[in-house]
A and B are shown apart, each in its own frame.
Chain A
Amino acid sequence: MSSLKETESLLFELITAPEGVAQALRESGRSASDLARMIVGDSRLSSVGRLDIYANMYFYRILDVLKADFPSVLSALGEADFHNLVTDYLLAFPSSHPSLRNVGAQLPAFLLTRTPAWLADLARLEWTRHDLFDGTDDELLTLATLQAIAPEQFAELPLKMVRAARLIELEFSVDDYGSAAGESVEKSAAATEPYRQSKTVLVWRQGTHVSHRALDPFEIRAAQLIVSGARFGYVCDLAVESYSLEEAPTRAFQLLSRLVNEQLLIA
């Protein structure tokens, strides 16, 4: 008689096998009769058929979650190729977290081995958006708070990015692609294929909605400063480096105002 551990080990191996229970039994040198000695079958359904119910549920439950988490990757690949991708992905990266929410965490890395090359970037953008949806809440810096600050004190204003924000480096123009850019899946199907273009994209949650946008060179350096926790004075210094002396103050305050409006700064 098998121990509980042996029973669970065999069943988990068979349920998570990509080609179904019967094939997995053959590949492991076992037979349907071996399984029938463990699991009760009857005239309605054999032991293999009964275990196959669980095998199908395992795969399709995860497939459905990944379809929801990566709608643009799904749209780019189509149903059949996405199905095959998930089959291969689960072999390489079986789910290692109790929550289905995290089952797609390694898909962007897995896609680095696949073509087209931009799929990995697209998946990374979609995963980041998914991940930040329920990221940590922070108390936000508001325009009212800014308005209460004396002009001479602005340089000392500490700036800190909300925790539900992330800067990601992309090699392709996937931030404009299909539903990753907020378009419907139907519209994204007709989207132009992403091209090679290095970008730094800011992804963040604003209320209940996750947004992203590519940053210009000044914003990239400012965002990097703010992520590490800088005073507004440093952003002003950066503006002086990036723009003319006349233009720099306006640029620095425009950026501050935009970041506050986009709910990107902590109070």
Chain B
Amino acid sequence: MVLKLPNIGHGIGLRTDHYSVVMDESPSVDWFEVISENFMVEGGNPRRVLRKVRMNYPVVLHGVSLSLGSTDPLNLQYLTELRTLAREIEPVWISDHLCWSSLGGKYGHDLLPLPYTEEALAHVVERVARVQDFLGRQILVENVSSYMSFHASTMSEWEFLAALAERADCGLLLDVNNIFVSAHNHDFDAQKYLDGIPCGRVGQIHLAGHSTEGELLLDTHDHPAPDGVWALYRAAVQRFGSISTLIEWDDHIPPFEVVRAESAKAAKIESEILSASAPKQATR
């Protein structure tokens, strides 16, 4: 089975700073991605805003707490609330991260990387499959930025993701900024990463900015995407073709127009590359 998701164009992550602009002015944006947990609440303004936005735009649910890599049992309460939200909002798709964030019923509220071992792969494959069964749909799994890697790893992150997508029959949300950050932090070749990801499995791309901390890069989503990330995005478009692409901006959030300009820049780059040459036929 392959991934069957539509290309919905170039979107923006919906943030509270922009609620009034989005609600009052219905700006021209292809779609919005929302953080699932922010709307897994009973009611009030968050749900009111989401309902209104959904009336005008395609919406994608992006979670941060599924904890797919945790050795804790899957949180069925969380999954039930996510499914309830999905039934109401009818998102185009649902995504979360290749990471773990909880243990022993306690939550670290972070996207912690896994050792890339056969044990971890089997564990995550089984959990992704169960999540997809529960939600009744394929999900997208996103690569995270990381600051640590494990001696125990027996495969690269891209090999792990490719195997996960194939064995769990899920899609991938390729965060180009995260690849850039992790490539710097762990000294690997970002192009090699892209080349290792199977084309038919990528359903969405994330773009964002990062910051420098000492000699490492941190995934802070508080800047425009830098040139290096844009260059990697060009390479991603060349490999994967036209893929739904989203700008993430989570801290020091600028006016809406600035974020929209980033999204327009992504659309322009994609258009330039696709018009210059047809996407290369990649091998799986």
Known: A4-B123, A12-B106, A53-B216. A134 touches B65 (CB 8 A): no
Task: For the complex formed, measure the closest distance between the CB of B36 and the CB atoms of chain A, giving whole angstroms.
Answer: 9
Q: Quick check: B44 and A133 within 8 Å, CB to CB? A: yes
Within 8 Å of chain B (Cβ to Cβ): is A147?
no
Which stretch (B149-157, B193-201, B263-271, B273-281) binds chain A?
B149-157
Is A100 in contact with chain B by the CB < 8 A criterion?
yes
From A7, A96, A99, give the contact of B115 (CB < 8 A): A7
| Distance, CA A38 to CA B104, complexed state (A) | 21
The CA of A135 and the CA of B109, in the complex, are separated in Å by 22
- Closest chain B residue, CB of each to CB of A58: B108
Residues of A within 8 A of B149 (CB): 39-40
User: Please, which residues of chain A bring their CB within 8 A of the CB of B132?
Assistant: none
Interface set, chain B 53-107, CB cutoff 8 A to A: 65, 67, 69-71, 75, 78, 100, 102-107
Categorize the interface residue count of chain A.
Answer: 35 or more
Please report the C-alpha to C-alpha distance between residue A7 and residue B151 in the assembled complex, in whole angstroms: 12
A-B contact count (CB 8 A): 130
Q: A45-61, CB under 8 A of B: which get 1 and which 0?
A: 10100110110011001
A15 touches B (CB below 8 Å): yes
Contact B70–A8 (Cβ < 8 Å): yes
User: Given contacts A45-B214, A45-B216, A53-B213, are A38 and B108 in contact (CB under 8 A)?
Assistant: no
Q: Answer whether A40 and B186 are a contact pair too, CB < 8 Å, given A4-B117, A53-B147, A58-B109.
A: yes
B119-153: CB near A (< 8 Å → 1, else 0) gives 11001000000000000000000000001111110
Known: A9-B103, A38-B150, A164-B44. A98 touches B37 (CB 8 A): yes
The 7 A-B pairs of least Cβ separation, nearest first, read A137-B43, A98-B65, A134-B44, A134-B41, A44-B215, A136-B42, A5-B71
Interface residues of B (CB under 8 A from A): 37-38, 40-48, 65, 67, 69-71, 75, 78, 100, 102-110, 112, 114-115, 117, 119-120, 123, 147-152, 186-187, 213-216, 218
